[in-house]
């Protein structure tokens, strides 16, 4: 398990235990983190698991595949730090990861 902190748009934070090998989306949903809808259940087909992950963590994450990048176009206000949390697999190197939840999902 590694700790992941989710920051809501109002600044409130919640830290959860995430299973290594699972996804950031699963960690959010399993811990009832607000704002991660994950309507498609992780199939990279809805963009409602959109989150922002800062540059400092990028080197510890696998790069997005084309399918994720394409689907991010449907996310609400995507930017350079946008990821679909169902496509970000949790690794031991991600201990302490900080993830921002968008103000709304698409």
Alpha helices per DSSP H over the chain: 24-30, 55-58, 66-72
Judged by the rule CB under 6 A, the positions of this chain that interact with ligand FES are 25, 38-40, 42-49, 71, 84, 86
If the CB atoms of residues 25 and 101 are measured against ligand FES, the closer one turns out to be: 25
| CB neighbourhood size of 10 (10 A) | 9
If the CB atoms of residues 71 and 90 are measured against ligand FES, the closer one turns out to be: 71
CB of 33 to ligand FES, least distance (A): 13
Closest residue to ligand FES, judged by C-beta, is 86
């Amino acid at each position: 398990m590694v700790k992941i902190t989710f920051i809501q748009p109002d600044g409130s934070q919640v830290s959860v235990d995430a299973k290594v090998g699972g996804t950031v989306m699963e960690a959010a949903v399993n811990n009832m983190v607000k704002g991660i809808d994950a309507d498609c259940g992780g199939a990279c087909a809805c963009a409602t698991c959109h989150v922002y992950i800062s540059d400092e963590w990028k080197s510890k994450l696998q790069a997005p595949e084309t399918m994720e990048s394409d689907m991010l176009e449907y996310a609400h206000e995507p930017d350079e730090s946008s990821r679909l949390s169902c496509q970000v697999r949790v690794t031991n190197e991600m201990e302490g990861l900080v993830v921002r939840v968008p103000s709304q999902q698409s």
